[in-house]
Amino acid sequence: MNAAPQARRLQAMALRAAGTAKPPHVTIRGLCKRFDTTPVYENFDLDIPRGELISVFGPNGCGKSTLINMIAGLVAPDGGQILFDGMRLSEIKFGYVFQNYREALFPWLRAFDNIAYPLKIMEVPPAERRARTERLVAHLGITLDFNLYPYQMSGGQQQLVSIMRALIVEPEILFLDEPFSALDYEMTLFMREQLQRIFMETGTTTVLVSHDLEEAVYLADRVLLLSRHPARIADLAAVASARPRTDATLSDADFVRTKAHCLDVFQREVRRA
């Protein structure tokens, strides 16, 4: 099942080792979007590298969620082009995780069937749906009672099910819109570890919107810092810390420096009237 992402990840790692510039996975050119009279994006260009986890961070209302919603096709841009290896969104498989897990899962389905549901839409036969879901569960090594209904699970467990539902189609790209902001701190820490593990397992290109700078830096290969609207790329800061990152990483000199830099850029953008 994971041969393709695995191969891509190895390829990505090989490219990184060779110091070669990777071909970007997602290319965004001339993106425009306005709400009423407010231009949120004006001729916005961005390349998202393959097999990396990009955190999107920026001032309130700068259009973080709008950006991934446009990339994921939930919000129609007014202009511009978004291509995935030169293909349109309808030609690729992707996963999307909502902030509000309570309203994103289907309460009438058990966790297992929630995870398998995207395969039903793709008209995969029931037996294969079952087998693929079981394989994903085993592969991620997540211990949960998948016979429960979402409302019988904790918030973190529900969001974990949401993430697995996004992964079941073996997405080429995974979008997460503030996935942990509705969880308590303890659960957030646990979920960060889960997401990092899933990312290291699958190597899927991931775009994460976050409102927590520490989380954004901790999880990311690069932090995309946006300016106030109309949004520009204030910085695309690389996070060098090796994976798996742990609590020790948080006090690591490199990590602290990157985080301080991001905070600097962020505050500069916030102050800019």
**Size of site (CB under 8 A) for other proteins:** 19
Binding residues among 167-186 for other proteins as defined by CB under 8 A: 169
Q: Which is nearer to other proteins, 112 or 218 (CB)?
A: 112
DSSP secondary structure, 68-131, as one string: HHHHTTSS--SEEEEEETTB-GGGS-EEEE-S-HHHHS-TTS-HHHHHHHHHHHTT--HHHHHH
Yes or no: say if 223 and 259 are a contact pair by the CB < 8 Å rule. Answer: no
By the rule CB under 8 A, 149 interacts with other proteins? yes
CB atoms within 10 A of CB 151: 9
By the rule CB under 8 A, 244 interacts with other proteins? no
d(CA 79, CA 36): 15
Q: Which is nearer to other proteins, 26 or 217 (CB)?
A: 26
d(CA 224, CA 217): 10
**CB-based contacts of 193, cutoff 8 Å, min separation 6:** none
Binding residues among 59-88 for other proteins as defined by CB under 8 A: 72-74
DSSP secondary structure, 171-194, as one string: -SEEEEESTTTTS-HHHHHHHHHH
Q: Which is nearer to other proteins, 169 or 187 (CB)?
A: 169
User: Which residue from 2, 11, 27, 100 is in contact with other proteins, where contact means CB under 8 A?
Assistant: 100
By the rule CB under 8 A, 104 interacts with other proteins? yes
Shortest reach from residue 100's CB to other proteins, in Å: 5
Q: Which is nearer to other proteins, 44 or 96 (CB)?
A: 96
CB atoms within 10 A of CB 97: 23
User: Which residue from 7, 122, 240, 260 is in contact with other proteins, where contact means CB under 8 A?
Assistant: 122
By the rule CB under 8 A, 106 interacts with other proteins? yes
CA 229, 234, 237: angle at the middle one, nearest 5? 140
Q: Which is nearer to other proteins, 102 or 139 (CB)?
A: 102
Please choose, out of 7-15, 94-102, 133-141, 230-238, the segment that lies near other proteins by the rule CB under 8 A: 94-102
User: Which residue from 107, 125, 126, 244 is in contact with other proteins, where contact means CB under 8 A?
Assistant: 107
Tokens of residue 221, six digits: 């290969």
Q: Which is nearer to other proteins, 99 or 258 (CB)?
A: 99
User: Which residue from 18, 20, 103, 251 is in contact with other proteins, where contact means CB under 8 A?
Assistant: 103
End-to-end alpha-carbon separation of the chain, Å?
A: 50
Yes or no: say if 55 and 210 are a contact pair by the CB < 8 Å rule. Answer: yes
Q: Which is nearer to other proteins, 159 or 227 (CB)?
A: 159
By the rule CB under 8 A, 35 interacts with other proteins? no
By the rule CB under 8 A, 117 interacts with other proteins? yes
Q: Which residues of this protein are in contact with other proteins, per CB under 8 A? A: 72-74, 96, 98, 100, 103-108, 117-118, 121-122, 149, 151, 169
